[in-house]
Structure 1
Amino acid sequence: MTANRPTRRDLLQLGCATAFAGVPLLSRAASWPERPIRLVVPSAAGGSPDAVCRILTSELSRSLGQPLVVDNKPGAGGNIGMIDIVRAAPDGYTLGYGNVGTLAINKSLFKTLPYDPDRQLVPVALLGYVQNALVVRKELGVNSVQELIALAKSKPGALSVGSAGNGTTGHLSGELFKSMVGISMTHVPYRGSPQAIQDLMGGQVDLIFDNLSSISPHIKAGRLKVLAVTGAHRSALFPEIPTMAESGVVGYDVVAWGGIVAPAKTPAGVVAQVNGAINTILATPGIREKYAAIGFETLTGPPERLTERVARETPIWADVVKRSGAQVE
């Protein structure tokens, strides 16, 4: 027997079928997003990352034509939220907020990290950075960094320093401060800034290092005493407040940066679309003013800018962790 040879008509039909087989897939990709998008924030509602993300999501929802739902997942130094992000389907409907803690610090702070930020995530956009502030309860009776150092040295281990959680820049700001000036204080980690601030005002802890974006309303209201900001330059939000370096802790320089990430293998077209929308939003004067009001300084650029920031600061924070002796199981 001889096989029937395909006719010209058969070949034409096969070619057409092959050509149109990919049309539904292409249409689906081109029509993203078709439903609400979840933005996982690995910290508590009301904290600095939450405030940063909520300013962004209201505008990004309008740009993409779909709601963006903020999903707060605090705990374990941000690890709980990051696990949620890396395990999500890489279809563009789950994005996440990654920051200096979850993308850089945690690599050396935790003996075993339950996610791999370099392999299980892709960068979408670097949003910007915010300084921390060293703030004490008013009843502590100190008015400068040097007075705080003197008090801590007179009572080794007696003072308590709260933070938004293990691995946050608030935590490592305190550890770096202790190691640089040679004092001993007890670290008290919380599940986010709101609870830490509440306990500071209630007298349960003596001081905290916290992002200006979450602590600034309490500073402005006079409920707490701010001693210094942690960056290399004074904050435009509080130009009268000295830096840690100006206060005698020479070489001290800490800022908290953050950006948007997505699960690995998220389509490049989706990443590019979100990156472009975010850059447009961050360049808008009204949005820049909203961020400036909470002490957050915006940055724009391609996704790779976030990758470069992570690569540059990971060894810096590894050194801070090593010098301070900080470690989390």
Structure 2
Amino acid sequence: MRRRDFIAAGAAALAAPWAGASPPGSDLPKGPVKILVGWAPGGGTDVFARIVGQKLSEVWGRPVVVENKPGATGSLAAEYFARTRFTEGINLLMAHVNTHAISPQIFRSITYDPLKDYAPIALIGATPHILVTSSRNSHGSVQEVVELCRKSPGKISFGSSGTGSVQHLAAEMFNMAAGVKSIHVPYKGSGPMQTDLIGGQIDFSFDTMTAATAQVRAGKMLGIAQTRVNRAKGFPAMPTMDEQGFKGFDASSWYGVVGPRDMSRELAQRINADINRVLAMPDVVSRFDGYGVEDGGGSVDKFAAFMAAEYKKWGDVVRAAKVTEES
């Protein structure tokens, strides 16, 4: 066979699977595909949206655009998404524990219903938080932190990325479980909070694993415990709060994809199937492991039940700790 004929035959063979068949994604609604993110570029939610969006683009054979609409710890974008009636394409929102489990139960300005105003599609995953302190300190166990709080009631500070954040509520969970009182110091994000923690202006934080990993591995912060019941693959040697006497202690940041509330169940299930396919890709698994993102995937109904359970869990914490927007 001549080289030219060989190349032509090879090209025909590669094209054969699609011969007479529709290309991937051709059965999806026409128009742009967008994923709205309620945080600025570079944060964990944005990074995970872009990883998933890139892979969905490859699966569907069409561009997937990530748009950022930061503000009010994600609630600005969630509010906008709930109130907008989309008329073309596929419009998705990156849901987050703050926007769909915590903030609506604290802030009076939020009017959307996280369980009714969206169509659940898929859980992307959950990341632990890490109880951290400055590496200048020598508190190596949770019990040492408890004893410190008992010796100085109302004087030991826990920083957070803002009122109503998981960092904030994890500290409240710790206070209630340990029977201690501490000071909550809210910041506008993990960055400025970490600066003060490393410098010794505040004592501790239940920071996100995504944000804390670099500082812990650089030796600037000391990781004391992680906050999911099972150890994350990224920190196999770090014990959990559960292992250190706080049985059942489970606080994580989670991320998911939702659609407009009028999205058909058939479309939600179709997108769910493709997201599950993306989450099983080896390179995606590897990247997510590096961020501590685990337990993503599952059915539409599983994600809906998960969101409802998280809403109840965090609502119970908010009420028990008497957390308000002025806290």
| TM-score calculated relative to the size of structure 1 | 0.82
* Farther off after superposition, 82-91 or 114-123: 82-91
Identity among equivalent pairs (%): 34
Partner of 1:147: 144
**Unpaired segments of 5 or more residues in structure 1?**
1-28
Residue 136 of structure 1: which of 133, 136, 144 is its match?
133
Q: How does 1:216-235 map to 2 (within 5 A)?
A: 216-235=213-232
User: Would the aligned equivalents of 1:74 and 1:191 in 2 still touch at CA under 8 Å?
Assistant: no
Structure 1 match to 2:36 = 40
1:68 has 2:70 as partner: no
Range with greater deviation from structure 2 (232-241 or 152-161): 152-161
- Decide which moves more: 70-79 or 115-124: 70-79
Larger Rg, first or second structure (1 or 2): 1
- Report what 2:11 is aligned to: none
Q: 1:94, CA displacement in angstroms?
A: 2.9
Distance 1:75 1:250 in 2: 35
CA-CA distance at 1:30 after TM superposition: 4.3
Distance 1:169 1:322, change over 3 A: same
Shift of 1:209: 1.1
Question: Counterpart in 2 of 1:127?
Answer: 124
Aligned residues of 1:43 and 1:192 also touching (Cα < 8 A): no
Please give the residue correspondences for 1:314-329 in structure 2 after superposition, counting only pairs within 5 Å: 314-328=311-325
Q: Which residue of 2 aligns with 1:266?
A: 263
Is 1:312 matched with 2:309? yes
What is the aligned-residue RMSD (CA, Å)?
A: 2.4
* 1:71-86 to 2 correspondences below 5 Å: 71-86=67-82
**What's the counterpart of residue 16 of structure 1?**
none
AA matched with 1:201: I
Task: Quote the Cα distance in structure 1 between the aligned partners of 2:157 and 2:39.
Answer: 22
Partner residue, 2:53: 57
Q: 1:119-157: per-residue Cα shift (whole Å, max 9, x none)?
A: 221112111211111111223442222222222223333
**SS of 1:165 mapped into structure 2:** coil
Equivalent runs, 1:221-260 vs 2, <5 Å: 221-260=218-257
| CA offset digits 1:52-87 (Å, max 9, x no partner) | 222212212222333333333344343212112212
Give CA-to-partner distance per residue, 1:263-305, whole Å, 9 cap, x none.
Answer: 2213445433422221111111221111111111142222222
User: Residues 265, 240 of structure 1: CA spacing in aligned structure 2 closer, same or farther, 3 A cutoff?
Assistant: same
Amino acid at match of 1:312: A
State the distance in 2 between where 1:202 and 1:309 align.
38
Q: State the one-letter code of the partner of 1:85.
A: F
Q: Give the structure 2 partner of residue 167 of structure 1.
A: 164
Query: Which amino acid letter does the alignment assign opposite residue 304 of structure 1?
Result: D
Contact between 2:97 and 2:255, CA under 8 Å: does it hold in 1? Answer: yes
Q: CA deviation at 1:38?
A: 2.9
Q: TM-score, normalised by structure 2?
A: 0.82
Work out whether residues 38 and 68 of structure 2, in 8 Å CA contact, stay in contact via their aligned partners in 1: yes
Alpha carbons 1:132, 1:212 under 8 Å: kept: yes
